């Protein structure tokens, strides 16, 4: 998922050891300064078919916005935003 995140939000070349980007990544273009449950869910759904994607997205969003695992979710967001 980390490589998919880099590819989508930073730049495709950021996945490689040597960055060759010549323009700002999608995150910078869209003013994205931190990971959110929605952005993690989006990355988690980048592999699969439409109906399956919708189910995966909804499941990830449900998990990441639940209150039962708040400490774990907060720790996950801290990790993504480091």
| Mean pLDDT of all residues in 10-39 | 75
pLDDT of residue 37: 87
Q: Give 62 or 49, the one with higher predicted confidence.
A: 62
pLDDT of residue 10: 78
Q: State the average pLDDT for the chain.
A: 81
Q: How would residue 79 be classed by pLDDT, with cut points 50, 70 and 90?
A: very high
How many angstroms separate the CA atoms of 34 and 9, rounded? 11
Which residues contact residue 67 at a Cβ distance below 8 angstroms, ignoring those fewer than 6 apart? none
pTM of the shown model: 0.50
Which residues contact residue 66 at a Cβ distance below 8 angstroms, ignoring those fewer than 6 apart? 73
Which residues contact residue 4 at a Cβ distance below 8 angstroms, ignoring those fewer than 6 apart? 43, 46, 47
Is the pLDDT reported for residue 24 higher than 80?
A: no
């Amino acid at each position: 998922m980390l490589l998919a995140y880099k590819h989508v939000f930073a730049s495709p070349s950021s996945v490689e050891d040597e960055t060759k980007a010549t323009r700002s990544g999608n995150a910078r273009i869209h003013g994205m300064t931190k990971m959110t449950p929605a952005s993690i869910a989006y990355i988690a759904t980048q592999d699969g078919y439409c109906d399956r994607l919708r189910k995966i997205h909804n499941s990830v969003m449900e998990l990441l916005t639940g209150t039962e695992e708040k400490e774990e979710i907060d720790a996950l967001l801290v990790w993504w935003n480091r």
